[in-house]
Chain A
Amino acid sequence: MSEGTPPLLIGRWTDASLTDALLEPTRRRPRVLTVLLGVTGLGTLMLFAAIGWTFLAGIGTWGNNIPVGWGFAIINFVWWIGIGHAGTFISAVLLLFEQPWRNSLNRLAEAMTLFAVVQAGLFPVLHLGRPWFAYWLVPYPSTMEVWPQFMSVLTWDAGAVTTYLIVSVLFWYLGLLPDLASARDAATTRFRRRAYGLFALGWRGSVRHWRHQRRAQLLLAGLATPLVLSVHSIVSMDFATAKLSGWHSTIFPPYFVAGAIFSGFAMVLTLVVPLRRLFHWERFITARHLDLVAKMTLAMGLLVAYSYAAELFVAWYSGVPAERHLFFDTRPLGPYGWLYWAQMTCNVAAPQLLWFRAVRRRPWALFVLSIVFNIGMWLERFVLIVTSQHRDFLPSSWDLYVPSLIDGALFFGSLSFFAFLMLLFLRVVPPVAIAETKEILHERGTDA
């Protein structure tokens, strides 16, 4: 930590007072969150109603057609899974690289990952023509000896997302154990003590417990770190292995990973800024945290911008008419041109504001920007997925894609479901990792 940078923990704390402060959200429930929980609960109901209707009537209720076989569902899938990546990046990669500033953010970020992956996982199943056969993508020992087709990246995709979900759950839960024990110990009612006790798995804070937990966490971090790269690389190959112009590109794996982390950090800011204000977490999620997250976002945003530039250059340099037509005509000037320019504004122009310290230190500015980035990243997937399909090689099959009301219900429903899960999480689990924040306290103590 260099001189003059703001601290990661502000104020004088004891272990007990820190525990008390950090358990506060599970006891005190701000009215606004309860209202929000109700609203997002209704949105969640809408999501499941839309899912039910899709199952009953068929994918025809969506806007998809030929040539645009993939629409909102795949856009939402890529967007959500990308958002998940920042959580894993913060909790695993930064753990491996010993960045202590992650400690007070990782719980929230991991929960975000988990819930985002839940949303993401919905869509590839829903978008199938016959979703009840989704398990055919999994290599299970069928009595018919029929296996998935392993050349298809979708098979790998199914595996990657499932792995990611499992590792994320384990990693999150493992980190949660000491805090669940703290919550148990500080519980005021019998029910809460029992409930937290059940999930704390008998954690007593012995040195052996800590040793095992730390080792397991490190191992899982080691597993999760390559997942940050591999999951979105595989997702990107859903497109990169296709022949379609705008999809058929070798830059996709790193480009997708950068985009994923960019959007994930943006989502962290979207969540943290209001919660920090609401729960008065300014002392342990300090201005320095926000500054660091903003810098990471800027770095990833620059990578994304570079990817865009590289795509354009390669399209021009390849000399392939279909590529050039897509990148220099269809995307900027076609019927979805306004979305393309909105994407460029959100993802290339807007992040440049983060060069300014004044912006990075203003939480509300960051909040607004983070929403702009997430809109931009959603638009990026829309432009990438839809524009490539709607005008491909034979102009005779060119057509437009217009999402249906059900598409909208599914998208906004998944936003609601995500928020609903986040709000439930805030009510029952300490959203800032107590044990890990204490580490900062103790490290500072030894510094002093």
Chain B
Amino acid sequence: MTDPADLLSILEPTRRDVVRLLAAGLASTGCTRSPPELIVPYVERPPEVVPGVPTVYATSLQRDGYGVGVLAACREGRPIKLEGNPRHPASLGGLGLREQAAILDLYGAERRALAATDPAAALGAAAPDGEGLHILMPPSASPGVLEALQRLRARRPRARIHVAPCWGPAERLEGARRAFGAAVEAEADLGALDVLLTLDADPLVEGPSALRDARRWAAGRGIERPTASLARLYSVEGSPSVTGRLADHRLALPDHAVGPFAAQLLRALDGAPPVGPWADWLGALARDLERHRGRCLVRVGARQPAAVHVIGHALNARLAAPVRYAPTPLGPTTPWRLEPLLDALDGGGVRCLVVLGGDPAHTLPADARWSARARRASRHVYLADAPDPSAALATHVVPALHPLERWGDARAADGTVSLVQPVIRPLVPGVSAETVLSTLAGDTRTDRARLAARWGHLDQALATGVLPDTRATFEARAVDPGAVEAALRQVEGPAPEGLHLSVRPDRRLGLGEGAHNPWLQELPEPVTQVVWDNAALIGRATAAEAGVATGDVVRLTRGARSIELPALIVPDQAEGQLTVWLGFGRAGVGVDAGPLRTLDAPWLTGPVELASVGRRHDLVTTQRHHRLGDEPPVLHRTLDAWRREPDFARHHAEPPPSILPDRLDGETPQREGQWGMTIDLDKCIGCNACVVACQAENDIPTVGKAMVALGREMHWLRVDHYRVDEGPEAGRTLVQPMACQHCEKAPCEYVCPVGATTHSPDGLNEMTYNRCVGTRFCSNNCPYKVRRFNFFDYRRGQPQTLRLQANPDVTARARGVMEKCTYCVQRIRRAQIEARAEGRPLGPAPVQTACQQTCPADAIAFGRVDRADSRVSRERRSPRAYAALNALGTRPRTMYLARITHPDPERES
């Protein structure tokens, strides 16, 4: 086998190149660079590869260093789609938006700019005892990495390992250490709660267990009868979060005030009367929590200081919360500190600096002065995902392998071990972090050999992706009362005045890992719907006071440092707080907030000055903001209102009378399988993972900021946001995922002059792309505006490697052609073909659409509406079921289940 880089010559493929690539995919079960492996030409087709049939491998991705099990679908040697591994406890079959987008990173063009470097040569200068060897790494829960670290420490005892605290959940683990004496992970079933309180936390989308927590939370919702019980969610936070948007009661407090609030809540539970501006709110909350003792839970966000985490643990203990603890799998051992490394760099004692990714030049606070200090190391080896700013500082840049290209393992927060196996030969000549550490430890075995040595016989585990019986034992732990007292003293005090800046990793880009991923850049931010930018989030009153409007560029100054970025007025933002997402300022998009951060307070960075600089910057959102006179087109009720009016949804579900014949009445020939979808808005958390999943499955191009500004984004599926202006639910934001509704009386179909959009016998609204001439009448006449038009040839000029990700089952669309959601017709047809080939009938729900499959909350059901026993049929009969814009008589096949909120009746009165 030749150099894997040659694989990229697929860009101008000859017949030989194609065969070579196919063979590379075939060889994917053993992808280390040596020994060379057997190439099997396709004339003798290997038994496990059938052209046109995906091969699915179980592997793992990292989520904040913890493992998430994924299934990688490969077509003819190319991985094209990632799905959650249902057997993996941190996935349960769902994936978040970043895991969905990870497939594109594999094919990213910028990786190819990294030249091959021999890691052994680069690391060869390290002293035998490790003197002067410093390693900076992101925290990792991979047993392989941690084992390599141990070996390294044994081999070179003077080597020093460092972790930047802001690269991991340092405060959370430190809080646990103080409260319980050990860095532990907490686990609770969010679906079995009566009350959940989040303190600056976003548990449904953030953290290693968010996918599982979202699934469990949603399992507790979606009730069928108004008499059933329903959890109540309280959120206290400075900037609206995905979870906070769902809260029945939300209190906007600056992030720095969340700690004092928690402290007061703890005291209130012990009988102290609450004081201050939030006293009534807090009093009612305390009573509600007390009422549901044993069935309520408090979650504290990872960015809050350790002391607030301690108080959170104390609150859970005080409320007898159903939460259990187990030691964290994350390493290296806490506490993590960066200062020793910086001091060593200043002292000139760093002979060999090894940085295992993380882009410190961009992600460390400005007072780390990384760019200046890193140059003091005589040798600087950087394991690079991309040619990022940190790579420019290194003397030796070693390309990193993508998780889909390497062997390894990973642990989930609950301890479960999952395996990482390559599904394609490396597209760049890189190595893994484990290899780098093992090389330093003198271990020359391959990652795979080590994996086999560590876990023994791998075949079964590789098939399922999960090692059995590796889950940690979770047990109850007692909180140290002394630690709580100390935390209370630390947190309580006079509230700071003025305007405060709070920074947070972007929900799409993280600290910058996703900056090169166009899917993530073009994905609407799940709360504000901004694309290709970050902004200073600011509350209405604060903005009015400062005379700032959305899009005005403001200068934020803290001491001698300042940044300039556009302001974005967010209605639910706490007054007195500015929030800026990190991860931007790389790849020429957005502004890096790093200059305002400091090592001692990387997230809550304290008072800042705000000044308008008199410039404008176009912030582009996929949904514009409008004031609505009427009810938003999303159906919702409080639980009490539902009880008073049990059939509130009925006239939104029954089709209005029509003089035209009904398609379902047998006018058109029926085919087995009438497809339909339901989306339970009581389960949907609005995380946008479905949007990325749809993009990955259906080859949806990105169009760039300028095109989105013109209203030409191509997403087939979008998540609409509506803010209720009036009534008892005023201030609530509702979300409604919106894709083609597959109307039985589709307004798009009868207006197409060439019959390019028609109805299939199984009830799909189909697009025949190569018949479309592009009149756009169908889109004009679509009341849901879910059709997307190829105004340009958007794939032109994109790196050709990205095309390797394309799903061969999905038809390519030319310029000038309309496209839209197909209900993943390629998956339906595959299921039908398989059923026919096997001579068995189709089940009630034989297909999962891409959006449904990835949905962490399991909010989407898809299946046959002609089978009464399918979930989709059952949900269509729900008293909460309604059709969007039902009065238009379009009879959509997609139906929604109304959102049910559960405000505290005590507050209502």
Binding site for B on A (CB under 8 A): 57-60, 63-70, 127-131, 133-134, 136-137, 146-149, 151-155, 158, 238, 241-244, 321, 325, 329, 389, 391-400, 402
Q: Which residues of A contact B818 (CB under 8 A)?
A: 129
Contact of B753 among A158, A391, A393 (CB under 8 A): A158
Cα of A185 to Cα of B175 in the assembled complex, Å: 107
- Complex-state Cα separation, A394 to B782, whole angstroms: 10
A325 to chain B: closest residue by CB = B629
B5 at the interface (CB under 8 A from A): no
User: Smallest distance from the beta carbon of A56 to chain B beta carbons, Å?
Assistant: 11
Q: Mark B643-657, 1 if CB is under 8 A from A, else 0.
A: 000000000000000
Chain A: CB-nearest residue to B757: A149
- The reply to whether A243 and B773 form a contact with Cβ atoms under 8 Å apart is no
**A64 touching B776 in the complex, CB below 8 Å, given contacts A241-B751, A394-B783:** yes
Contact A153 B751 (CB under 8 A): yes
Q: Is residue B814 within 8 Å, beta carbon to beta carbon, of the partner chain?
A: yes
B232 to chain A, nearest CB (A): 28
Q: What is the predominant secondary structure among interface residues of chain A facing chain B?
A: loop
Give chain B's interface residue range (CB within 8 Å of chain A).
35 or more
Interface centre among A69, A147, A402 (most CB of B within 10 A): A69
A-B contact pairs, 11 of them (CB 8 A): A64-B776, A65-B791, A69-B789, A129-B816, A133-B773, A152-B777, A154-B775, A242-B777, A243-B888, A394-B885, A397-B784
CB distance from B735 to the nearest CB of A (A): 10
Chain A residues whose CB sits within 8 angstroms of the CB of B707 once the complex forms:
60
B618-674 interface (Cβ within 8 A of A)? 623-624, 626, 628-630, 632-633
A392 contact from B720, B738, B785, B788, Cβ within 8 A: B785
Q: How far is the CA of A302 from the CA of B885 in the complex (A)?
A: 37
Contact A128 B773 (CB under 8 A): yes
Segment at the interface with A among B66-74, B710-718, B866-874: B710-718
Write out the residue numbers on chain B whose beta carbons fall within 8 Å of the beta carbon of A397.
Answer: 623, 784-785
Contact of A395 among B628, B774, B776 (CB under 8 A): B628
Q: Mark B697-741, 1 if CB is under 8 A from A, else 0.
A: 000000000010011100000101110000000000000101000
Across the interface, do A66 and B711 meet the contact criterion of CB distance under 8 Å?
yes
**Do A154 and B751 touch across chains, with their CB atoms under 8 A apart?**
yes
Is A399 in contact with B624, judged by CB distance below 8 angstroms?
A: yes
| Residue picked from A57, A127, A130, A395, most chain B C-beta under 10 Å | A395
* CB of B752 within 8 Å of the partner chain: yes
- Closest chain A residue to B623 by CB distance? A396
B815 lies within 8 A of chain A by Cβ: yes
Q: How far is the CA of A402 from the CA of B706 in the complex (A)?
A: 13
A129 CB contacts on chain B under 8 angstroms:
772-776, 789-790, 815-818
Task: Give the top 8 A-B pairs by smallest Cβ distance, nearest first.
Answer: A129-B774, A129-B816, A69-B776, A60-B791, A65-B711, A397-B785, A396-B720, A154-B753
- Minimum Cβ distance to chain A for residue B571 (Å): 16
Known: A130-B773, A396-B623. 5 other contacts (CB 8 A): A65-B791, A66-B785, A134-B773, A151-B750, A398-B626
Q: How many angstroms between the C-alpha atoms of A60 and B626 in the bound complex?
A: 26
Q: How far is the CA of A278 from the CA of B787 in the complex (A)?
A: 53
**Number of A-B pairs, beta carbon distance below 8 Å:** 163
Contact of A395 with B626 in the complex, beta carbons under 8 Å = yes
Cα–Cα, bound, A67→B752 (Å)? 17
Minimum CB–CB distance for A272 against chain B, Å: 36
User: Which residues on B sit within 8 Å (CB–CB) of A393?
Assistant: 633, 783-784, 885, 888
Q: What's the minimum C-beta distance from B491 to chain A, rounded to whole angstroms?
A: 41
The contact string, 1 if C-beta is below 8 Å from chain A, for chain B 770-801, is 01111111011101110111111100000000
The minimal Cβ–Cβ distance linking B663 to chain A, given in whole angstroms, is: 14
Residue from A130, A329, A402 in contact with B774 in the complex, judged by beta carbons closer than 8 Å: A130
B747 near A: Cβ within 8 Å?
A: yes
- Return chain B residues, CB-CB under 8 Å to A394: 633, 720, 738, 783-785, 884-885
- Known: A148-B754, A158-B753. Contact between A64 and B773, CB under 8 A? no
A396 interface neighbour in B721, B751, B773, B814, Cβ under 8 Å: B721
B755 interface residue per 8 A CB criterion: yes
Bound CA–CA A130/B790 (angstroms): 10
| Separation of A131 and B773 alpha carbons in the complex (Å) | 7
Distance A130 CA – B788 CA, assembled complex (angstroms): 15
**Nearest A residue to B786, CB-CB:** A397
- Residue among B718, B774, B775, B815 with max Cβ neighbours from chain A (10 Å): B775
Q: Which residue of chain B has its CB nearest to the CB of A155?
A: B753
Which residues of the partner chain B approach A130 to less than 8 Å between Cβ atoms? 772-774, 814-817
Contacts of A64 in B (CB 8 A): 776, 791
CB within 8 A of B750: which of A67, A68, A152, A325?
A: A152
Most B CB atoms within 10 A — which of A129, A329, A400?
A129
What residue in chain A is nearest B713 (Cβ atoms)?
A66
Q: Is the CB of B712 within 8 A of A392?
A: no
